[in-house]
Amino acid sequence: MRKIRMGMVGGGQGAFIGGVHRMAAALDGQIELVCGAFSSDGERSKASGEELYLPAERVYTSYEEMFEKEAKLPEGEKMDFVAIVTPNHVHYPVASAALKAGFHVMSDKPATFTLKEAEDLAEEVKKSGLLYGLTHNYTGYPMVKEAKYMVASGAIGAVRKVVAEYPQGWLATHVEASGQKQAAWRTDPKRSGVSGCMGDIGTHAENLLEFVTGLKVTEVYADLTTFVEGRLLEDDGNVLIHLENGAKGVLYASQISVGEENGPQLRVYGEKGSLQWDQQEPNKLTVKWLDKPREVLTPGGNYGYYCDRTASSTRLPAGHPEGYLEAFANLYVTFAEQIRAHLAGEALPEHTLDLPNIDDGIRGMKFIETVVKSSAQKAWLPL
Amino acid sequence: MRKIRMGMVGGGQGAFIGGVHRMAAALDGQIELVCGAFSSDGERSKASGEELYLPAERVYTSYEEMFEKEAKLPEGEKMDFVAIVTPNHVHYPVASAALKAGFHVMSDKPATFTLKEAEDLAEEVKKSGLLYGLTHNYTGYPMVKEAKYMVASGAIGAVRKVVAEYPQGWLATHVEASGQKQAAWRTDPKRSGVSGCMGDIGTHAENLLEFVTGLKVTEVYADLTTFVEGRLLEDDGNVLIHLENGAKGVLYASQISVGEENGPQLRVYGEKGSLQWDQQEPNKLTVKWLDKPREVLTPGGNYGYYCDRTASSTRLPAGHPEGYLEAFANLYVTFAEQIRAHLAGEALPEHTLDLPNIDDGIRGMKFIETVVKSSAQKAWLPL
Amino acid sequence: MRKIRMGMVGGGQGAFIGGVHRMAAALDGQIELVCGAFSSDGERSKASGEELYLPAERVYTSYEEMFEKEAKLPEGEKMDFVAIVTPNHVHYPVASAALKAGFHVMSDKPATFTLKEAEDLAEEVKKSGLLYGLTHNYTGYPMVKEAKYMVASGAIGAVRKVVAEYPQGWLATHVEASGQKQAAWRTDPKRSGVSGCMGDIGTHAENLLEFVTGLKVTEVYADLTTFVEGRLLEDDGNVLIHLENGAKGVLYASQISVGEENGPQLRVYGEKGSLQWDQQEPNKLTVKWLDKPREVLTPGGNYGYYCDRTASSTRLPAGHPEGYLEAFANLYVTFAEQIRAHLAGEALPEHTLDLPNIDDGIRGMKFIETVVKSSAQKAWLPL
Amino acid sequence: MRKIRMGMVGGGQGAFIGGVHRMAAALDGQIELVCGAFSSDGERSKASGEELYLPAERVYTSYEEMFEKEAKLPEGEKMDFVAIVTPNHVHYPVASAALKAGFHVMSDKPATFTLKEAEDLAEEVKKSGLLYGLTHNYTGYPMVKEAKYMVASGAIGAVRKVVAEYPQGWLATHVEASGQKQAAWRTDPKRSGVSGCMGDIGTHAENLLEFVTGLKVTEVYADLTTFVEGRLLEDDGNVLIHLENGAKGVLYASQISVGEENGPQLRVYGEKGSLQWDQQEPNKLTVKWLDKPREVLTPGGNYGYYCDRTASSTRLPAGHPEGYLEAFANLYVTFAEQIRAHLAGEALPEHTLDLPNIDDGIRGMKFIETVVKSSAQKAWLPL
CA distance B269 to chain A (A): 6
Residue C237 domain-assigned (yes or no): yes
CA dist B273 and B15 (Å) reads: 42
A196, A230 contact by CB (below 8 A):
no
Measured between beta carbons, the chain A residues lying within 8 angstroms of D263 are 319
Measured between beta carbons, the chain B residues lying within 8 angstroms of D293 are 287, 295-298, 301, 303, 305
Angle between helices D324-343 and D142-152 (to 10 degrees): 70
C280 contacts B321? CB cut-off 8 A: yes
Query: What CATH number should be reported for the domain holding residue C283?
Result: 3.30.360.10
At residue D182, the pLDDT reads 85
B236 contacts A240? CB cut-off 8 A: no
Residue D339 domain-assigned (yes or no): no
Q: Beginning with the edge strand found earlier in the chain, give each strand of the sheet holding C4-10 in spatial order.
A: C31-37, C4-10, C81-85, C104-107, C132-134
Does the pLDDT at position D89 exceed 80?
Answer: yes
Across D168-227, the runs of DSSP E, i.e. the strands, are 217-225
CA D367 to chain CA mean position, Å: 14
pLDDT band at D181 (very low <50, low <70, confident <90, very high): confident
B214, B247 contact by CB (below 8 A):
no
CA dist C37 and C101 (Å) reads: 15
At residue B1, the pLDDT reads 80
Q: List C-alpha distances in Å: B283 to C280, D169, D297.
A: 9, 32, 20
Measured between beta carbons, the chain C residues lying within 8 angstroms of D380 are 378
At residue D303, the pLDDT reads 61
pLDDT in tens, B211-221: 999 999 999 99
Q: Are residues B373 and B225 in the same domain?
A: yes
Q: Are residues B149 and B277 in the same domain?
A: yes
Instruction: Output b/e per residue, A310-328; b: 16+ Cβ within 10 A.
Output: bbebbbbbbbbbbbbbbbb
Give me the residues paired with residue D222 across strands. D239
CA dist B337 and B334 (Å) reads: 5
Does the pLDDT at position D77 exceed 70?
Answer: yes
Q: If you write DSSP's letter for every residue of B215-243 in order, what string do you get?
A: --EEEEEEEEE--STT-SS--EEEEEEEE
**Which one of A111, A134, A157 terminates a domain?**
A134
pLDDT in tens, B115-170: 999 999 999 999 999 999 999 999 999 999 999 999 999 999 999 999 999 999 99
B197, B234 contact by CB (below 8 A):
yes
At residue C307, the pLDDT reads 86
Interchain CB contact of D175 with A (< 8 Å) = no
Residue D22 domain-assigned (yes or no): yes
Mean pLDDT across chain D, nearest whole number? 96
CA D300 to chain CA mean position, Å: 24
Q: Beginning with the edge strand found earlier in the chain, give each strand of the sheet holding B81-85 in spatial order.
A: B31-37, B4-10, B81-85, B104-107, B132-134
Is A329 strand, coil or helix?
A: helix
pLDDT in tens, D235-275: 999 999 999 999 999 999 999 999 999 999 999 999 999 99
Across C123-213, the runs of DSSP E, i.e. the strands, are 132-134, 159-167
**Which one of C93, C116, C134 terminates a domain?**
C134
CA C123 to chain CA mean position, Å: 20
Q: Are residues D77 and D225 in the same domain?
A: no
Does the pLDDT at position A13 exceed 90?
Answer: no
Residue C331 domain-assigned (yes or no): no
Does the pLDDT at position D304 exceed 60?
Answer: no
CA dihedral B58, B59, B62, B63 (to 10 degrees): 50
Q: Are residues C118 and C163 in the same domain?
A: no
CA dist A69 and D319 (Å) reads: 39
Q: Are residues D106 and D32 in the same domain?
A: yes
CA dist A250 and A241 (Å) reads: 6
Q: Are residues D175 and D96 in the same domain?
A: no
C318 to chain A: closest CA residue: A293
Short-list B51, B41, B56, B55, CA closest to B10: B41
Rg (CA), chain D: 20
Q: List all chains that touch chain D, counting a touch as 3 or more CB pairs closer than 8 Å.
A: A, B, C
Q: Are residues C100 and C160 in the same domain?
A: no
Residue A235 structural domain: 141-316+363-382
Q: List all chains that touch chain C, counting a touch as 3 or more CB pairs closer than 8 Å.
A: A, B, D
Does the pLDDT at position D376 exceed 70?
Answer: yes
Residue type, C343: L
Mean pLDDT across chain B, nearest whole number? 96
| Residue B60 backbone dihedrals phi, psi, to 5 degrees | -110, 160
Q: Are residues D255 and D177 in the same domain?
A: yes
Q: List C-alpha distances in Å: D239 to D202, D219, D227, D300.
A: 10, 10, 16, 35
pLDDT in tens, D119-168: 999 999 999 999 999 999 999 999 999 999 999 999 999 999 999 999 99
Strands A159-167 and A248-254: parallel
Strands D236-243 and D248-254: antiparallel
Share of chain D above pLDDT 90, in %: 94
CA dist C83 and B302 (Å) reads: 28
pLDDT band at D324 (very low <50, low <70, confident <90, very high): very high
Residue B299 domain-assigned (yes or no): yes
| Residue C123 backbone dihedrals phi, psi, to 5 degrees | -60, -45
Residue B324 domain-assigned (yes or no): no
pLDDT in tens, A170-211: 999 999 998 888 899 999 999 999 999 999 999 999 999 999
Tally the residues of chain D: 383
**Which one of C3, C48, C298, C324 makes the best mutation probe of the B interface by having the most chain B beta carbons within 10 Å?**
C324
Q: List C-alpha distances in Å: A221 to A248, B373, C270.
A: 12, 17, 53
A30, A37 contact by CB (below 8 A):
no
CA distance B116 to chain A (A): 30
| Residue A263 backbone dihedrals phi, psi, to 5 degrees | -110, 45
Summarize the confidence of residues B317-344 as an average pLDDT.
98
Angle between helices A203-213 and A142-152 (to 10 degrees): 50
pLDDT in tens, D14-41: 888 999 999 999 999 999 999 999 998 9
Instruction: Output b/e per residue, D113-132; b: 16+ Cβ within 10 A.
Output: bbbebbbebbebbeebebbb
Strands A132-134 and A294-297: unpaired
Q: Are residues B239 and B110 in the same domain?
A: no
**Which one of C76, C101, C134 terminates a domain?**
C134
Count of the separate structural domains present in chain B: 2
pLDDT in tens, A147-161: 999 999 999 999 999
B227 contacts A160? CB cut-off 8 A: yes
Does the pLDDT at position A300 exceed 90?
Answer: no
Query: What CATH number should be reported for the domain holding residue C32?
Result: 3.40.50.720
Q: Cis omega (within 30 of 0) on the bond before B382?
A: no
Q: If you write DSSP's letter for every residue of C235-278 in order, what string do you get?
A: -EEEEEEEETTS-EEEEEEES--TT--S--EEEEEESSEEEEEE
CA C225 to chain CA mean position, Å: 24
Share of chain B above pLDDT 70, in %: 99
Interchain CB contact of C305 with A (< 8 Å) = yes
At residue B16, the pLDDT reads 86
ipTM reported for the complex surpasses 0.85: yes
Please state, as a whole number, how many other Cβ atoms lie within 10 Å of the Cβ of residue A351. Answer: 15
Tally the residues of chain A: 383
Mean pLDDT across chain A, nearest whole number? 96
pLDDT band at B304 (very low <50, low <70, confident <90, very high): low
Tally the residues of chain C: 383
Q: What is the pTM of this model?
A: 0.97
Measured between beta carbons, the chain A residues lying within 8 angstroms of C292 are 303, 305
Does the pLDDT at position D183 exceed 80?
Answer: yes
Q: Are residues D152 and D286 in the same domain?
A: yes
Interchain CB contact of A221 with B (< 8 Å) = yes
Interchain CB contact of C273 with D (< 8 Å) = yes
Cβ-based burial of D147 (10 A; exposed 0-12, middle 13-18, buried ≥19): buried
Is C62 strand, coil or helix?
A: coil
Does the pLDDT at position A380 exceed 90?
Answer: yes
Does the pLDDT at position A305 exceed 70?
Answer: no
Residue A331 domain-assigned (yes or no): no
Q: Are residues A93 and A158 in the same domain?
A: no
What is the H or E stretch that residue D287 is in? strand D285-289
Interchain CB contact of C72 with A (< 8 Å) = no
Residue D93 domain-assigned (yes or no): yes
Mean pLDDT, consecutive 10-residue stretches, chain C (383 aa), reads: 96 90 98 96 95 97 97 96 96 98 98 97 98 98 97 97 98 92 90 95 98 98 98 98 98 98 97 98 96 92 75 95 98 98 98 98 98 98 96
Measured over the CA atoms of residue B91, residue B92, residue B98 and residue B104, the dihedral's sign is positive
pLDDT in tens, B217-242: 999 999 999 999 999 999 999 999 99
Q: Are residues D111 and D170 in the same domain?
A: no
D324 contacts A324? CB cut-off 8 A: no
Give me the residues paired with residue B16 across strands. none
Measured over the CA atoms of residue A172, residue A173, residue A176 and residue A182, the dihedral's sign is negative
Does the pLDDT at position B305 exceed 80?
Answer: no
